[in-house]
Amino acid sequence: MNIGFIGLGVMGAPMAAHLAAAGHAISTVLNRSPLPDGFRATVLDTPAAVAAASDVVILMLPDTPDVERVLLGANGVIEGIQSGSLVIDMSSISPIATQRFAEAFREKGAGYLDAPVSGGEVGAKAATLTIMVGGPVEEFERARPLLETLGKNITLVGEANGAGQTCKIANQIVVALTIEAVGEALVFASKAGCDPAKVRSALMGGFAASRILEVHGERMINRTFTPGFRIRLHQKDLALALDSARALGVALPNTASTQQLMSACAALDGGAEADHSSLVRALERLADHELSNGKA
């Protein structure tokens, strides 16, 4: 297929490379990210040109305004989209805005799926992403072969656009609160005089075991905060959660407090661009104690 892929960032670049390796012809438009080494794609001037050359257009962009600009702005995808084409937005953005975007493309005779992902840079490189999809079942089945090239756990959450984005928000709540819980536990144990690495190892054998304790707990202990998923992006996702919860009349008290901790961490030197596991740095400030200082 002819695939337009817009958003060749930390996750988008390996995702597009997997599609190219599967034999699809890729076109793109460059913004901030250059083409990765060894990756071949046709570079076009505008999103509209990419859409005109593509059977399917995939987006992997940071936030709702970025998606809106690329889709509906001047020389946007909607100006070049062909009737019968399919747009797949794999960004993590507002469910309400997603419904509006989908309606605009359906008026042009194009299909639209929201298909945000979880798994970070590691999952993007390994093609093991979890993909949460909202949209009509026939469009989902059309996209399935492409999605299976990118991920392993692929679920049509609902046939209404926005269902995938709602599921992704739920995912980000769970991830953020679990990172915060792991950080609290390790800071507590470390300040009590225990080796946090040994505490983590012990917990991995019990009911507290989780992928986040395994991966991000190790990052916290080793101070390896090179971003797989940046604090500022998780801040954005929690803001979406709180905005949506306010509209629904749902209280998310721990989501709100964890977002505040992320804001505190983002204010530290380089914090906004660090991995979200660096949330532990805000907890360390509150405890006046760094994990490495508590090793027995």
Tokens representing 85 are: 């084409």
- Annotated catalytic residue, options 152, 168, 198, 295: 168
Distance CA 66, CA 81 (A): 18
Q: What are phi and psi of 153, to 5 degrees?
A: -105, 100
**Which tokens sit at 287?**
């405890």
CA dihedral 58, 64, 67, 69 (to 10 degrees): 180
Token couple for 143 = 């996209």
User: Burial of 58 by CB count in 10 Å (0-12 exposed, 13-18 middle, 19+ buried)?
Assistant: buried
Sign of CA dihedral 32, 43, 67, 7: negative
Contact between residue 89 and residue 72 where contact means Cβ atoms under 8 Å apart: no
152 is catalytic: no
Residues near 69 by beta carbon (within 8 Å), at least 6 away in sequence? 76
Contacts (Cβ under 8 Å, ≥6 apart) of 76? 46, 47, 48, 69, 70
Q: Where are the beta strands (DSSP E) in the chain?
A: 2-6, 25-28, 42-43, 56-59, 86-89, 111-114, 117-118, 129-134, 151-158
**Residue 178: which region, alpha, beta or left (left: phi > 0; alpha: psi -120 to 50)?**
alpha
> Which residues pair with residue 118 across a beta bridge?
130
Catalytic residue set: 168
